[in-house]
Amino acid sequence: AQSVTQLGSHVSVSEGALVLLRCNYSSSVPPYLFWYVQYPNQGLQLLLKYTSAATLVKGINGFEAEFKKSETSFHLTKPSAHMSDAAEYFCAARQGGSEKLVFGKGTKLTVNP
């Protein structure tokens, strides 16, 4: 069964620093991959998605993610963190033929001034 692993339940960066949130998936067949963000007291908002068209995917708010099949990874990056990026980030995968999303445990990002 598909599983998604997010390394690091908490990541803390300084404002202006690089943000790197890690995500690995388990399937031998690359799934559709997504990053969602959850701000306090809000729902899950899609940041970006990989659907096999391009390995480097750009999303909203300056985030991007690179799909690496050899590493079964889909890490999320942003060159320069902003205070407003503080939130919880979830990586999710959906296998072709299934409708369900399989989520990682989430990474809480703190941005320090």
Partner 1 sequence: EPEVTQTPSHQVTQMGQEVILRCVPISNHLYFYWYRQILGQKVEFLVSFYNNEISEKSEIFDDQFSVERPDGSNFTLKIRSTKLEDSAMYFCASNPDRNTEAFFGQGTRLTVV
Residue 22 is a binding residue for partner 1 (CB under 8 A): no
Which of 7, 17, 44, 86 is the binder for partner 1 (CB under 8 A)?
A: 44
Assign 85 to helix, strand or coil: helix
Least distance in Å: CB of 88 to partner 1? 10
Place of tokens 């690179």: 66
41 binds partner 1 (CB under 8 A): yes
Helix (H, G, I), strand (E, B) or coil at 81: coil
Among 26, 45, 52, 61, binds partner 1 (CB under 8 A): 45
- Give me the sign of the Cα torsion angle 78, 79, 81, 84: negative
- Per-position x/- string for 48-87, each x denoting binding to partner 1 as judged by CB under 8 A, each - no binding: -x-x------------------------------------
CA distances from 25 to 18, 20, 113 (A): 23, 16, 33
